[in-house]
Amino acid sequence: MMVIVTLTKVECEIAAIIGRIRRQISLERQRRTRRDFTDDGLNNDIESSAAELAVAKYLNIYPEWSPTAAAVPKFDLNWRGIKLDVKSTQRITGNLLIDDLDRTVTYILACGTRPNFTLKGYLEGERVPELGIWRTDMPCLPCWFVSAEKLKPLQK
């Protein structure tokens, strides 16, 4: 069961602020991420912040964003003591891509663009090698590829 979350105008504005801050930090640190391989890294930072906010909204939690150069955790949200890393794509038919696997994190796939996101499901990091495929033929970086159909449905 997929979940559809629609952000309000104010929530989209909050995501835009966080995305701009993240982009500025990345530029200052000369950091290269998957999003830097696209034509519009700023828009992708904003969309990824919006996707995280959509997951937080669905789970009824407040994202504890700390977009500073010193605070770069390897996960996005903390829900009931579980570290969540939201992976997003603007492709509604997207799949889960993980370039830096952390087996202690649970990954959530969010597809779409502001204000509408489809939360396709989740998968524990420890299960990624079992259900995914390590791909070196991706256009940006080598990564774990997990088909959206293999994800577990989200439950509150």
Of all residues in the chain, what percent are helix, strand and coil, respectively (each to 5)? Answer: 35, 30, 40
- Pair 48, 86: CB distance under 8 Å: yes
Give the pLDDT score at 123: 98
Q: In whole angstroms, what is the distance from residue 13 CA to residue 65 CA?
A: 15
Average pLDDT of 4-29?
Answer: 90
Q: What is the average pLDDT value for the chain, to the nearest integer?
A: 88
- Residue 140's SS3 state is coil
Size of the chain in residues: 156
Q: How far apart are CA 101 and CA 134, in angstroms?
A: 11
The model's pTM is 0.88
Domains detected in the chain: 3-150 (3.40.600)
Alpha-carbon dihedral angle through residues 76, 37, 146, 104, given to the nearest 10 degrees = -30
> Is the bond preceding residue 153 a cis peptide, omega within 30 degrees?
no
For tokens 């904003």, the residue is: 46
Structure-model confidence comparison of residues 78 and 64, the more confident one: 78
Region of residue 23 (left: phi > 0; alpha: psi -120 to 50; beta: else): alpha
CA pair distance 75, 87, nearest whole angstrom: 10
pLDDT at 19 over 80: yes
Higher pLDDT residue, 149 or 70?
149
DSSP state of 139: S
pLDDT at 58: 97
Report DSSP letters for 17-47, one per residue: HHHHHHHHHHHHHT---GGGGSS-HHHHHHH
**CA 72 centroid distance within chain:** 14
